[in-house]
Chains A and B, each alone.
Chain A
């Protein structure tokens, strides 16, 4: 764009250039009303925001009018009307990030960059900052994304280092790929290259491996593979030898790479070997970084936590984890991929549906409706124009199952979708993926291309006479679009307003035609059912919930990540055995399941085997599968407030109970977490929550009170404590202050780090904190080596 713009002098020229660029986009995308979201996405890609000249041009040249434009562009979070800075910092405010201090990270970036309270962009227009619902990298919380680069475990005191690293990286740009001609690989080095692996610095490790290979003359295949699921142990590499042995190295650093490679492979020439030996000697001499080199740890020590993490899991959706390259279609086929599709193409449609019915699989999107029944409903409609939609609009903060399935197993999801399309007799399929998952969008798009080339989608699939066109639709940032009727509205180019069911999408869905909507995970289980039979699938799981469930395990757990376990596994097993227990040795307090529509299950109920019905009984829901572990240092009222805050921002606004009711619940929770409430407010909150649950229009609204109701049910005493002016965990900032204990030795570390100058610089004296100036960011707590700074309740005077 710069080339075209750099010679522009007059505003009129600039306007004309905008019009030209807009025209090109309109010609590429289309002019119908339903094209509005892709059109706006393309315009924003081009201009970084939606300039008014471009929008005026859209009114002139398309069916889209002003009313539709305002209505749609302001509904979806993705679109912005003001230009942003050159780089955008997105601070993830998902549940896991929230409990790990995302707000403090956001404040720290604003402080570091000197961005004022009422703006989001730096004065030099270099950076803009925004909070976003969830990046889906919950195992690495708190997470920040700068442009397309993701940073995990961001500490509020270290945001300067993150910015520095980002600037260094963008300056270096991409390096040329290494020479690969005429070679015989000695083995394979495998990486996970999903968002979370990248966030943890796998890209640097990959670079280090490439560089080391060049230097050492070691010729190995460097292969990105699907997520291992051990997202907490990244960066992680697997070294695979020709003999089939695999050695796994978790948590490695770039400087350890060379050593690992030398351990497995012989460098090309004796000379190089010698040179390396010498250089390494020097390296080791000058730095002491290799003293704890992981090579010296035994195999058991090295991978124990990962192996316990992986034990107890069962792979259906994530079959081939850590082995397969997500985008190697030949490998997928070699491993039995598309066998299920081939099988169904030779089978009668009704038999396919019967097989799915017999498997007992229930929809993984939240409600748990039997998938087979949904399929047969669609297949039984008189209208023969039918659609299938894969719902990948995973908006729940604290969930990242769909993202990893789409990034790691795009071909399996596509296969499931094609099978579904065949079974219900649909001619068109749409993969609906949220725009916050750029990696997933890229991979699925490429996977679709490959499938097209192989004749697996498109006209006359594998010569069977069955045709299916599949396209990809990027969701534009609205949690409510996970609700199927709202999702359909957004594909049709409308606001994501849900409508009343019936009619169900199965009867009247997209553009008024019968539509099957299945969640990503549901579809990814279909190939297994077809290939191995309904009985094999039904043998896993519980009476009412068959198969496995993929969970995103995050929060205060030692080893978070993506897991797949048989239905009926207990939450305690998941947290203790797979997750390795609560981090920092704290006590488990509760597990939050199902995101904003779910609830908090107290530790005392964590021995219940988890399936759809058991969770419902406990006041939570399965939801899409986010599991956020909460420890004794988490405040349950704050967690409830967090979700209500999320919901009132994501409510579509259509019906009274969700639009106003959720907000009034939030008002009451604000009052409670500020320590200004009375006991009657708790009853008022409960009454309102129960009413919203009964009377809201759609599933989002009806489940919105769940976080409140479940915490009221299991942790009512905490609400009462707040009314009495006590927040035990210090999470409710308005109720606490920071104080210094006698353990302080006056080292001044806190005084130096305090961004608000609230701690006077007084060496060798017990420090003091000026509560007027203090912003409660908690940086000093992290800095203090003597554990001498603590939150303390500003106890209210006892009520008269």
Chain B
């Protein structure tokens, strides 16, 4: 079967979807809700291509080529609409890719990760991550000014914790990893403002050790939404962020698998690929993905690979 792609003749077998054919030929097509070999139903529309004859935008992940079809994959129109779909998803995505404290640190310390190790009793790793740096000569403490906890009540004493760690010579050395990507070009999602309700909830929920909210996303290293946003050069969504997603309501699904609904883009991959596991609730803008308590056992950790965002993640906890 012969079609044309970007005005070039293009040979297809006729039994694979457009995205499969295009990618096999090395033509880049971004996507979020598509997972080869798994059940998927067009949702994100990021993979769209234009059918030149009808003027229609088609999700290439679910469209079978038809003889003589003329496809456009890289026109400004297609790129703009892809970008818009990502921006729309981001406007309903309550997440901080990186914690603000890490982003603003003039010394490049992954403060969020240090505090996380600290809160989980892993002082050796925390100190290792400092790599000899400390905050003693930092008077402005931008990290503590940026701290999300500061908008709830009082910021986390980041400087105090780090300086204590740095000064404590009894802490052994260990291996530590940072997921932080603070590159200027890398996209960073923003949580937005907390409601009063959320604030009071967080005051009750985060009472241990540093009081840190751990706002950095736990699944950012695998997040395709972040990667595509970076590639599209998005800095912020033009629609702002307003969402009805339950914020900071992470639940342990099973074993090390966790679910954070605030980051879910409702693509449904986890719904379609579990049996009596994840499910949709409500419809339209209010639609959520949930995991009923009774159904947790029907899910395996592998499902994390299908999730295109940090909504499903494997916890780093010991």
Contact = CB atoms under 8 A, between A and B. Distances in A.
Interface in A657-700: 657, 659-664, 667, 684, 688, 691, 694-697
A87 to B, nearest CB: 26
Interface in A682-728: 684, 688, 691, 694-697
Given A66-B295, A70-B290, A655 B284 contact: no
Contacts of A497: 41
B271 interface: yes
A66 B292 contact: yes
B310 interface: no
A320 B222 CA distance: 66
Interface residues of B, number: 49
Contacts of B62: 499-500
B292 A67 contact: yes
A656 B284 contact: no
Contacts of A71: 271, 279-281
Contacts of A65: 275-276
Contact of A648 (B89, B277, B278, B285): B285
A660 B292 contact: no
B271 to A, nearest CB: 7
A697 B59 contact: yes
A653 B284 contact: yes
Q: Would you call the interface of chain A mostly helix, strand, loop, or mixed?
A: helix
A655 B285 contact: no
Contact of B278 (A67, A684, A691, A694): A67
A699 to B, nearest CB: 12
Contacts of B294: 66
B48 interface: yes
B285 A500 contact: no
B152 to A, nearest CB: 25
A649 interface: yes
A374 interface: no
A651 interface: yes
B219 to A, nearest CB: 20
**What band does the interface of chain A fall in when counting residues whose beta carbon is under 8 Å from B?**
35 or more
Given A74-B281, A74-B283, A655 B43 contact: yes
B238 interface: yes
Nearest to A647: B284
Given A67-B271, A694-B81, A651 B284 contact: yes
Contact of A663 (B64, B276, B279, B285): B285
Most A CB within 10 A of own CB, among B91, B92, B277, B284: B284
Q: Would you call the interface of chain B mostly helix, strand, loop, or mixed?
A: loop
Contacts of A495: 280, 283
A67 B80 CA distance: 36
A378 interface: no
A70 B57 CA distance: 32
Contact of A66 (B41, B57, B276): B276
B58 to A, nearest CB: 8
Contacts of A638: none
B147 to A, nearest CB: 29
Contacts of B42: 499-500, 654-655, 697
A436 interface: no
A500 B63 contact: yes
A652 interface: yes
A75 interface: yes
Nearest to A496: B283
A659 B281 CA distance: 14
Contact of A70 (B45, B92, B279): B279
Given A67-B278, A659-B266, A664 B284 contact: no
B299 to A, nearest CB: 11
A75 B280 contact: yes
Given A66-B292, A74-B281, A695 B63 contact: no
B163 to A, nearest CB: 44
A75 B277 contact: no
A650 interface: yes
Contacts of B290: 70
B287 interface: yes
Given A500-B42, A654-B43, A74 B239 contact: no
A360 B265 CA distance: 44
Contacts of A660: 88-89, 91-92, 285
A70 B277 CA distance: 11
B283 A653 contact: yes
B249 interface: no
B253 to A, nearest CB: 14
Contacts of B66: 502
Contacts of B46: 656
Interface in A438-460: none
A709 to B, nearest CB: 16
B34 to A, nearest CB: 13
Most B CB within 10 A of own CB, among A74, A478, A696: A74
Interface in A631-653: 648-653
B84 interface: yes
Nearest to B55: A694
Interface of B: 41-46, 48, 55-59, 62-64, 66, 80-81, 84-85, 88-89, 91-92, 238-239, 242, 265-266, 268, 271, 274-287, 290, 292, 294-295
Given A500-B63, A654-B42, A697-B42, 10 more contacts: A67-B279, A70-B290, A495-B280, A495-B283, A653-B283, A656-B85, A657-B85, A667-B239, A691-B80, A691-B81
Q: What 9 A-B pairs have minimum CB-CB distances, sorted nearest first?
A: A653-B287, A67-B279, A651-B284, A65-B276, A660-B88, A663-B285, A695-B57, A664-B239, A67-B276
